[in-house]
Amino acid sequence: MNRRGRLEAAAGVLLCALGYGLAHRDSYEVRTVLATAGGCQMATDIYEPRSGPPQGSVVLFHGLAANKKVMSFTAQEFANQELRVFVPDLPGHGRTPGPYSATRADSCADAFLRNLVARKAIAPERTILGGHSLGGAIAIRAARAIPVAGVIAISPAPMQAVPGFSEEMILFHDAPPLPPHSLVLTGQWEPGPIKLLGRRLVASASDSSSRYQLIPGTSHVSILFSAGTFLAVRAWTAQLLGTSPDAPFPRNMPALASILGIAGLAILVPPFLREANTRDRDSAVKHPLRPSEDTPPFFRGLLLSGLAGVAAALVLASRFIPVRFVGLVHGDYLAVFLFLSGLLILAGYRKSLPPWPWVPASPLVASCASALVLVLLFAGWFELTFYEAWLTPARWLRFPLLLLLVFPWQLAEEILLGRPASSPDGRRLAKALALRALVYVALFAGIRYFHSGAILLFLLLAYFVVFSLLQRIACDLVRFRTQSPAAAAIFGAILLAAFALAIFPVA
């Protein structure tokens, strides 16, 4: 390794070390138990008060495509107020087995709460129910049957028809009255329908004990880590349970820690990929392809990709091809969409496909091995800081099928982009992002106008953008080193399949 490589490695390790320190500045007493109630087995984290006996309890529910790890910072804030906090993984999320459905998550949460009361683990009159997004809606619904001290609903998911959300996007269609003493928070940069729902919930309350508050400068996810959110939550908790309004904020910074670690790993990945994937300088000479076959005209390929995306959306809207067999909530729609789009593009450019003997085994093995190492590395980092990304056996069982479904799209992309001139290749990266943007516009148009209900693909858009950028840069490096479109395609498909398995609930 040369001097530059050593400096890059040192910078990457330093950022990861800094991120780890920020994620674990404060230590909390946390137990993880398997809570069984109503036929549901939910992995549950229990946070104990920082000092002394608990003054009350909080039960927190996470959102769709999230897990209890995402709620850890909120749980720590409540623990600092001398409260015992229960945070379960809802069905199909995190460490709790599936299947997930909104109805099952609702019934499991209700059974979980009743079980805590029956065991005298909580006293309802000294308990606050809280939740984010799906969890906010569940907290409101759970308080119907069990009177609690109050509810804190952060960006609750829509439970009634509002402009901008089709019926298929609404998780619950029987919105209950808002319980007394409810605080409803939404972010300034939320989707409009979620803010509208929050205002409507409080406006329709039967008494004046509830309040709606907009948290400035926050989005649907960042609201969980905002100081404004915790000031509002702390004041509400002090009002309901008499806790100290001057309790310290948690010093841990999981969101920033995760970002720093991703940056550090992004610095470490290129040297690793260069070492793991041998540069084949003679491939183009040994196995020449005609220029027209190697690099199809890009704008013609862009047009074909857009048409393929529209055609795939139309086929899925017809329900001609089933998607539920994948077993991922809304990830099934994405996987089958990419499969159909990729096949259509490959059919249009079948003459540009290299013959199978041109694909040597060595680059394929190296690219597969390096992709799996990256999957484990990034999953481990998220586990340490922000999100339960470590794949469970149920998710690994879905991996082969998902890999087969997303591979045609990855191979089609490699064919359309052609060989990189260098690594990194800025022009090729720009083309790839334009290609993906066009196809994803067709995907979102299908969801919006054909009413598939795959709302997660909207809510997770920012994560897909970041993932696409990092994945594409890594794929370009593998392609440049191996000169093999198949090696780069299988590398990218492994990363995409693992990402989908980590982020979508198990259905």
What would the DSSP string read from start to end of 215-270?
Answer: ETT--TTGGGG-HHHHHHHHHHHHHHH---TTPPPP---HHHHHHHHHHHHHHHHH
Report whether 443 contacts 309 (CB < 8 A).
Answer: yes
Residue 320, pLDDT score = 79
Under the banding of pLDDT at 50, 70 and 90, the label for residue 1 is low
Instruction: Please check whether residues 234 and 311 belong to one and the same domain.
Output: no
| 314 and 207, same domain (yes or no) | no
Claim to verify: residue 355 and residue 427 sit in the same structural domain: yes
Q: What was the pLDDT predicted at 358?
A: 53
pLDDT of residue 449: 83
Q: Domain of 328?
A: 281-503
Same domain, 234 and 287: no
Please, are residues 131 and 137 in contact by the beta-carbon 8 Å criterion? yes
Token pair, residue 11, equals 């910078």
E strand or H helix at 427, and its extent? helix 426-450
State pLDDT tens for residues 469-493: 999 999 999 999 988 899 999 999 9
Same domain? For 450 and 336 the reply is yes
Is residue 27 over pLDDT 70? yes
**Are 314 and 308 a contacting pair, CB within 8 Å?**
no
> Does the residue 16 lie in any domain?
no
Share of the chain above pLDDT 90, in %: 71
| pTM strictly above 0.95 | no
478 and 416 share one domain: yes
> Domain boundary residue among 210, 241, 272?
241
Average pLDDT over residues 245-257: 92
Do 161 and 105 reside in the same domain of the chain? yes
Number of domains in the chain: 2
- The share of the chain scoring above pLDDT 70, in percent, equals 95
Position 64 pLDDT exceeds 60: yes
Confidence of residue 286 (pLDDT cuts 50, 70, 90): very low
pLDDT of residue 292 exceeding 60: no
In a domain, 497, yes or no: yes
Region 253-268 average pLDDT? 95
Domain identity same for 215 and 342? no
Domain boundary among 241, 271, 297: 241
Contact 308, 344 (CB under 8 A): yes
pLDDT at 458 over 90: no
Residue 155 lies in a domain: yes
Whether 396 is in a domain gets the answer: yes
Which tokens in the block code for residue 226? Answer: 């905002």
Kindly state whether residue 276 falls inside one of the protein's structural domains: no
Rounded to an integer, the average pLDDT of 170-177 is 83
Please give the mean pLDDT across all residues of the chain: 90
Least confident among 64-78, 214-228, 318-332, 395-409: 318-332
State the greatest distance between any 2 C-alpha atoms of the chain, in Å, as a whole number.
79
Domain membership of residue 275 (yes or no) is: no
Higher pLDDT, 424 or 182: 182
Residues 367 and 415 grouped into a single domain: yes
pLDDT digits (tens, 9 = 90+) for 177-205: 899 999 999 999 988 888 988 999 999 88
Residue 169 has a pLDDT of: 75
Q: Please indicate, yes or no, if residue 14 is contained in any of the structural domains.
A: no
∠ CA 241-243-247, nearest 5°, is 150
- The whole-number pLDDT of residue 288 equals 44
294 with 162, same domain?
A: no
Three-state secondary-structure class, residue 138: helix
Q: Which domain-ending residue is among 188, 223, 241?
A: 241
Contact 78, 85 (CB under 8 A): yes
Distance of alpha carbon 80 from alpha carbon 467, whole angstroms: 34
- CATH number of 132's domain: 3.40.50.1820
- pLDDT tens digits, one per residue of 95-109: 999 899 999 999 999
Residue that has been written with the tokens 């048409």 in this structure: 307
Quick one: 130 and 41 in the same domain?
yes
Residue 250 placed within a domain: no
Cα separation values, 122 from 53, 82, 85, 242, Å:
13, 14, 10, 16
Average pLDDT estimate for 100-127: 96
Same domain? For 303 and 237 the reply is no
Position 284 scores a pLDDT of 45
Across 73-85, average pLDDT: 96
